[in-house]
Structure 1
Amino acid sequence: MASERRSVLERALRILASFQNSGGPLTLSEIGRRSGIPLTTTHRIVNELHEWGALERDHEGRYRIGLRLWEVAAHAPRSVGLQRTALPFMQDLYETTHRGVHLAVREGNEVIFVERFVTPDSASSGPRVGGRYPLHATAVGLVLLAHAPVEVQEEVLGGPLESYTPHTYSSSRELRHVLAEVRRSGYAVSDRQINPAFASIAAPIHDADREVVAALSLIIPHTEPYGPSLAYLVQVTTRGISRKLQKDPEPDV
């Protein structure tokens, strides 16, 4: 009986996960295909999730993530306190540079974006809040990987490095050198590694225990010059967030 309950829960989680990077609402058939679950089972579980409020259905019968699920997720302590602290600093950086600003945390071998300010030219191209990328492919990911436990670094370095563009780091030897430079300089640069039109500069955010708990990046068109001056602005912003976290720590940040 316990294994049966776990099976149902695992399938429900797979259904919810099918909405990641979906780009919009999904039909029942699309949910079944993306989750790999038989259509009859998908229909039953989707109905239950819809009744609870985890999914919503539009007038065309397609499904999307519901507000009830968002309400529950909004209480996740690792992102709530961080977002609350970081938002004023992010807005200042955005208004100073008129460029996109992203805030992210590490979850396993991936980076999750938890907040962002976007410009009109980057709104459709950047990761959405809740979006994920491998650690090696973004500036925030490079920062978080550079300060991750050694076992996490070795797992990433020893595994396949997915390429999104010709500029994505695909050599473990090169990536190891990059991570050492990130620790030395205090910031990371990702030049067209995800999107060939943009580059990003990121720096770490430290909590009350001086541990790196997040990273913040500035997104700029790759045709614009970038260097120490922009890196300094990003570092000033992350230091301000870090000082605030250290002065008024949130539980489980």
Structure 2
Amino acid sequence: MPRAATGESSIARAARIIAAFTAEETSLTVTEIARRTGLHIATASRLIAELTTHGLLARGPDRDVRIGVRLWELASRASPISSLRDAAMPYLEDLHAVVGHHAQLGVLDGDDVLFAERLSARDAVINYSQIAGRLPVHASSSGHVLAAHAPPEVRDRVLQQPMPRYTAATITTPDQLDRAWAAVRRQGYAFLPGHVHEDATGIAVPVRNTLNEVVASLSIIVPNDEHAQAGIPALLAAARGITRTLTSHRPPNSRPG
């Protein structure tokens, strides 16, 4: 495959272009993509044109660049999250109906929580997460659950990284975070009032596979008030239901976990 003078392949450069888009910035100019990827603007323009030809990127009405429908199609078809999401959706819908705010499903990807699904309501409390969006594990309830049950090397890596503060309640020191993860393992859920936004409480529980490994987090975001803990029983029941589905039925051609 063609390589740049630096030895980087065209595929690697194309991957950097696609990764330049974020959940908040889904439309970029060629100049902005070149700046974010460190590519020469002529190189970025050529690769963008090739990716657009194959439907992986698309041009907007103002010639801005966007993720193409073909890329979404391929990713949805191959995603290992699909079977997890399918198993979770009936329980996620019931949970959302009970809490009346946000119910969401997250997985650990690198050092972040990647949200595979989120159900919300028009008048729900503020929530920074979104589908295909990310939050750092140190600040979110989903992140606490996933990190608490992650391999030791993952936890050690997170503990050594900077921990941005979102509110006065956000945990930003390794000792505090390690103790919080221990509490999650002990009590079976994470309860984080006001850690990402002062008005919201995040509560999360683990979802397990056939090997009893934690493969996802199920969480709710509710108002940060005296009623916040009321949703915990429904959250735990929904997570048990998803776990039963994952451990009792495997769709054809799917892979466990």
**Structure 2 length as normaliser, TM-score?**
0.91
5 Å matches for 1:100-249? 100-122=102-124, 125-223=127-225, 225-227=227-229, 229-249=230-250
* Cα shift at 1:230: 1.6
Structure 1 unaligned residues grouped into runs of 5+: none
8 Å CA contact retained: 1:103, 1:214 = yes
Shift of 1:71: 0.8
Q: Which of 65, 90, 93 is the equivalent residue of 1:91?
A: 93
Q: Judging changes above 3 Å, is the alpha-carbon distance between structure 1 residues 2 and 199 closer, same or farther for their aligned structure 2 residues? A: same
Q: Which one-letter code corresponds to 1:18 in the other structure?
A: A
- Which residue of 77, 81, 84 corresponds with 2:83? 81
SS of 1:204's equivalent in the other structure is strand
Q: Residues of 2 paired with 1:6 and 1:88: CA distance?
A: 44
Q: CA deviation at 1:123?
A: 8.8
Amino acid across the alignment from 2:108:
R
- Output the CA distance in 2 between the equivalents of 1:193 and 1:55: 36
For residues 185 and 226 of structure 2, what CA distance do their matches in structure 1 show? 25
Shift in Å, 1:3: 5.1
- The alignment covers a number of residue pairs equal to 252
SS at match of 1:183: helix
Q: 10, 27, 52: which one pairs with 1:25?
A: 27
- Deviation of the 1:224 alpha carbon: 5.5
Comparing both structures, which one devotes a greater share of its residues to helix? 1
The one-letter code sitting in structure 2 at the alignment partner of 1:169 is I
- CA offset digits 1:44-69 (Å, max 9, x no partner): 11111111111111111111111111
TM-aligned CA deviation for residue 137 of structure 1: 1.4
CA distance in 2, matches of 1:165, 1:35: 31
Alignment identity in percent?
35
| TM-align CA RMSD | 1.9
Is residue 208–residue 216 contact of structure 2 (8 Å, CA) maintained in 1?
yes
2:51 to 49, 52, 61: 49
